[in-house]
Amino acid sequence: MPGPAQPGPSTPPIHLAVALDGAGWHPAAWREPGARPGELLTARYWSELVAEAERGLLDFVTIEDSLSLQSSRYTGPDGRTDQVRGRLDAVLIAARVAPLTRHIGLVPTAVVTHTEPFHLSKAIATLDYVSGGRAGVRVQVSGRSDEAAHFGRRTVPPLRIEELASPAGQALLAELFDEAGDWVEVLRRLWDSWEDDAEIRDAGSGRFIDRRKLHYIDFEGSRFSVRGPSITPRPPQGQPVVAALAHATVPYRLVARSADLGFVTPRDTGHARSIVAEIRGEQAAAGRAEETVHVFGDLTVFLDSDPGAAAERRARLDQSAGGEFTGDAPVFTGTPEQLADLLQELQQAGLTGFRLRPAVLPHDLEQITRHLVPELQRRDAFRTAYRANTLRGLLGLPRPANRYATAAV
Amino acid sequence: MSKPVKQIHLAAHFPGVNNTTVWSDPEAGSHVEFSSFRHFAQTAERAKFDFLFLAEGLRLREQGGEIYDLDVVGRPDTFTVLAALAAVTERLGLAGTINSTFNEPYEVARQFASLDHLSGGRAAWNVVTSWDAFTGENFRRGGFLPQHERYSRAKEFLSTATELFDSWQGNEIAADQQSGSFLREARAGAFVHRGQHFDIQGQFNVPRSPQGRPVIFQAGDSEEGREFAASSADAIFSRYSTFEEGRAFYTDVKGRLARHGRTRDQLLILPAATFVLGDTDAQAQELAREVRRQQVSGATALKHLEFVWNRDLSGYDPDGPLPEIDPDPGEHAIAQGRAQVRMYRDPLATARQWRELAAANKWSIRELVIETGNRQSFVGSPATVAQTINSFVQADASDGFILVPHLTPGGLDAFADTVVPLLQERGVFRTEYQGSTLRDHLGLAHPDADAASERVAS
């Protein structure tokens, strides 16, 4: 259920998420004094990070993933030994953490290009069961030739990231994102393939289910077909939250057509405004104008109570890494108060929330939960307690009707 | 000279889709909610069981072209439940069936390696095969694996996954903050596999897990399945829980190990077993009869007969005699996705035998199905059941059992509270976990990665 309206007559509350990845988003983060680089593959490390995010009342955490070893290059492994390498399956990390948390949403990454939508559909539905309605999934395409070679089912041309703007690159992206759209459609149909009250346990007739309330999804796409129904009953949220990261028109379209939530990377408020407008336009074109689609701004953050300290820390990390940190998302360096100013300013451009990428874990996460959140609360811009038990509830998304139940009426 | 006393291995199977789970009992709980799995797992851990086991289903069963609706239908995802259970247990092994036909080695290997990390070394993989187009309709690669290739793919799948597990030796992560060296070896995880079913290469992205590799279980009973287990598995799930059949199977499979350069303690034989406990043996027998009636309704009995007859028998009276007509000799078509179908390889002979049995005993259809199937493995007082289980294990009819209660999630509670203490008193079952990994519980060596280092070096 959605929480009550927050104070502040004109401005809705900000939604906040954090993106967890390894020792943090800066490649030298693992060398910081508080880092625990030897524990990145342990359950305790992840449980403690998510518990910290939950203490900060954040909407959800995302957990990054990939089907290849981390690399500083887009096209393949880089052979470097000075950065964190090796990671665990994000869905399983989320499931491992779920019983230890109560309110925070859990949004693992799934690479849609090489995985089976049937398997992921039941995995995310099950994450929803084990978390009591707090599951989401962030869908990610893979255009990497080295990841394709790990599966051997298809080849992907080895394109450098700058070549993605070429006609060949655009064709590849369009194909991968179309397939991702199909993938999400299969997920959603499978989640609806059981009506909520399909299990009847009717001792009189001896029937455990009412099979009229189970539905074949009969999806036919260009890359795969799926018959259904799911083997897992409809999850607690009905539809767990689907999210995607988007940097350009093709992925904006995926967000607008298929997702509940998009992560975008605006350079400034003007850019944010144009991105939101583009997504809203695509959303209307897809007939979803009435549905809530959140647009979250992504920022990598270096936070310290002394603005000089944050800048010094960033410089020190860059020196350790042997180069200036850049990434797909804008980088913020400063105090939690300054970040609160920026978030409120960006919110005016139409963003509904933010996904902050801590440059260093747990330091920048704790700056978010212990300093940014109280600052936003002082400004009546963030919740002071969890007021919903599901991720959809936290995000103000209704529990959707089952498409098949509706069709049957 | 008497043989040394064997230690019994016990596991708990959370029943999935079958007609042995009594869902209509007032004590029957959810088969999907996490609270059920938590209760079941915590009971198994309280009883110091070796592991919990989850089966897998990838397509809902059908009969007569409709989704089968008389048994428990629906189950959560195996990996996801096991990862969540790792958070609410500390020592219990976590085993899951994962199909090798509708998955890819890179993905399954990283899921099992991840589960092993996240559980501190408690993961086990029951490798199964499937080939049918019916199940394949839910997957990208479809259902086109010829049946004769199912073990060929399974073998190559397992060997490929093993290459991926072994692609990290376990000492590559330096994480040295001073020197700035995270990896000692840039090529960690490098692999190349060129084979009939898989042609893949690259770098595996999950470093070596606490057990090195998950424990490998196998469940097939055919000649090929027995050889596969003898060559590659750490434990085999057998379906022979009676004494004579169990001894024959045990002797056969253990006898195959030497040919694969393995010793008899490197493969455990663990039959699935059901049980009914009562205060006395007589009371347990009475309860067992009642459970069997709950498991086999009239409608269930007719559906069961349809597996053999391969015909729609819905017009027959389950309390009446068996059908006069013979089974349809065509390819099995009436039931899809059911393991039982494969048990009746000669339907005409089965039908003839069943008619004779029913006539001799004056059994109705339902009585016949009750009497020929679903008989509980162990029925009696806790003392009787403990004695029976121990005698089976000491006489090499098995190395232990995978217990399948007919009630979830509380069906294991009485066994944990009454039978386990008796086995502990006899000194044939642990009173505390000695190690922390599933390999420790099962007495299996942790695989070293020397083979891996040679492979990487070559």
Tens digits of residue pLDDT in B6-26: 999 999 999 887 778 999 999
Question: Is residue A3 scored above 60 in pLDDT?
Answer: no
Tens digits of residue pLDDT in A113-138: 999 999 999 999 999 999 999 999 99
Length of chain B equals 458
Provide the 10 A C-beta neighbour count for residue B298.
Answer: 17
pLDDT at B414: 97
Q: Is A31 on the interface with B (CB under 8 A)?
A: yes
Query: Which among A85, A97, A228 has CB closest to B183?
Result: A85
Question: Is residue A4 scored above 70 in pLDDT?
Answer: no
Question: Is residue A284 scored above 70 in pLDDT?
Answer: yes
For tokens 């350790």, what's the residue? A320
- The pLDDT > 70 percentage for chain A reads 97
pLDDT at A406: 66
pLDDT at B343: 67
Q: How confident is the model at residue B219 (pLDDT cuts 50, 70, 90)?
A: confident
Cα A183 to Cα A226: distance, rounded to the nearest angstrom: 10
Question: Is residue B454 scored above 50 in pLDDT?
Answer: no
**H-run or E-run covering B400:** strand B400-403
Q: What is the mean pLDDT of residues B55-70?
A: 93
| Contact state of B203 with A77 under an 8 Å Cβ cutoff | yes
A73 contact residues in B (CB cutoff 8 A): none
User: Hey, what amino acid is at A392?
Assistant: R
A88 contact residues in B (CB cutoff 8 A): 110, 113-114, 117-118, 206
Question: Is residue B445 scored above 80 in pLDDT?
Answer: yes
**Residue of B42, B59, B80 best to disrupt the A interface, most CBs of A under 10 A:** B80
Cα B294 to Cα B120: distance, rounded to the nearest angstrom: 40
Cα B79 to Cα B97: distance, rounded to the nearest angstrom: 9
| Contact state of B198 with A152 under an 8 Å Cβ cutoff | yes
| Contact state of B77 with A223 under an 8 Å Cβ cutoff | no
Which residues 155-174 of chain A have a CB within 8 Å of chain B? none
Q: What is the mean pLDDT of residues A181-202?
A: 97
Which residues 143-172 of chain B have a CB within 8 Å of chain A? 168
Query: Which among B114, B181, B203 has CB closest to A82?
Result: B181
DSSP A42-85: SHHHHHHHHHHHHHTT-SEEEE---SS---SSSSS----SSS--
For residue A139, give the 3-state DSSP assignment.
strand
A232 contact residues in B (CB cutoff 8 A): 32, 74-77
Q: How confident is the model at residue B353 (pLDDT cuts 50, 70, 90)?
A: very high
- Burial category of B371 from C-beta neighbours within 10 Å (exposed 0-12, middle 13-18, buried 19 and up): middle
Q: How confident is the model at residue B449 (pLDDT cuts 50, 70, 90)?
A: low
Q: Is B177 on the interface with A (CB under 8 A)?
A: yes
| Contact state of A89 with B180 under an 8 Å Cβ cutoff | no
Q: Is B74 on the interface with A (CB under 8 A)?
A: yes
Query: Among residues B38, B24, B58, B88, which one has the least CA distance to residue B290?
Result: B24
pLDDT at B2: 64
DSSP alpha helix (H) spans, A286-369 = 307-321, 336-347, 363-367
B258-296 exposure pattern, b = at least 16 Cβ within 10 A, e = fewer:
eeeeeeeebbbbbbbbbbbbbeeeeebeebbeebbebbb
pLDDT at B339: 67
Tens digits of residue pLDDT in A323-352: 999 999 999 999 999 999 999 999 999 999
Nearest CA in chain A to B68: A211
Q: What is the mean pLDDT of residues B420-424?
A: 98
**Residue of A83, A142, A150, A227 best to disrupt the B interface, most CBs of B under 10 A:** A150
Q: What is the mean pLDDT of residues B219-236?
A: 90
Nearest CA in chain A to B99: A119
For residue B189, give the 3-state DSSP assignment.
coil
pLDDT at A1: 39
User: Hey, what amino acid is at B263?
Assistant: T
Length of chain A equals 409
Q: How confident is the model at residue B225 (pLDDT cuts 50, 70, 90)?
A: confident
Instruction: Given the cut 0.90, state whether the ipTM is greater than it.
Output: yes
Q: How far A131 CA lies from chain B's nearest CA (Å)?
A: 8
pLDDT at A64: 98
pLDDT at A132: 98
Question: Is residue A408 scored above 80 in pLDDT?
Answer: no
Angle at which helices B150-165 and B223-232 cross, to 10°: 10
**Residue of B67, B71, B90, B118 best to disrupt the A interface, most CBs of A under 10 A:** B118
Which residues 178-197 of chain B have a CB within 8 Å of chain A? 180-189
Query: Which among B67, B75, B115 has CB closest to A232?
Result: B75
Q: How far A224 CA lies from chain B's nearest CA (Å)?
A: 5
Query: Which among A99, A129, A152 has CB closest to B199?
Result: A152
Residue A319 has phi, psi (to 5 degrees) of: -65, -45
pLDDT at B451: 52
A100 contact residues in B (CB cutoff 8 A): 87
Nearest CA in chain A to B174: A38
| Contact state of B106 with A42 under an 8 Å Cβ cutoff | no
Which residues 215-234 of chain A have a CB within 8 Å of chain B? 223-229, 231-233
Asked if residue B173 lies in contact with residue B132, where contact means CB atoms within 8 angstroms, the answer is: no
Tens digits of residue pLDDT in B145-176: 777 787 888 899 999 999 999 999 999 999 99
> Which residues share a beta bridge with B380?
B277
pLDDT at A5: 39
For residue B134, give the 3-state DSSP assignment.
helix
CA end-to-end span of chain A: 25
Question: Is residue B140 scored above 90 in pLDDT?
Answer: no
Q: Is A154 on the interface with B (CB under 8 A)?
A: no
Q: How confident is the model at residue B334 (pLDDT cuts 50, 70, 90)?
A: confident
| Contact state of A232 with B115 under an 8 Å Cβ cutoff | no
Q: How far A64 CA lies from chain B's nearest CA (Å)?
A: 13
Q: Is B23 on the interface with A (CB under 8 A)?
A: yes
Q: How confident is the model at residue A306 (pLDDT cuts 50, 70, 90)?
A: very high
pLDDT at B340: 63
Query: Which among A85, A194, A207 has CB closest to B69?
Result: A207
Cα B144 to Cα B385: distance, rounded to the nearest angstrom: 45
Q: How confident is the model at residue A159 (pLDDT cuts 50, 70, 90)?
A: confident
Q: What is the mean pLDDT of residues B254-266?
A: 95
User: Hey, what amino acid is at B12?
Assistant: A
| Contact state of A214 with B206 under an 8 Å Cβ cutoff | no
Q: Is A399 on the interface with B (CB under 8 A)?
A: no
The conformational region for residue A160 under phi > 0 = left, psi -120 to 50 = alpha, else beta, is beta
Cα A332 to Cα B162: distance, rounded to the nearest angstrom: 44
B140 contact residues in A (CB cutoff 8 A): 116, 153, 223-224
pLDDT at A269: 97
Q: How confident is the model at residue A409 (pLDDT cuts 50, 70, 90)?
A: very low
**Residue of B35, B140, B194, B293 best to disrupt the A interface, most CBs of A under 10 A:** B140
A146 contact residues in B (CB cutoff 8 A): 202-203
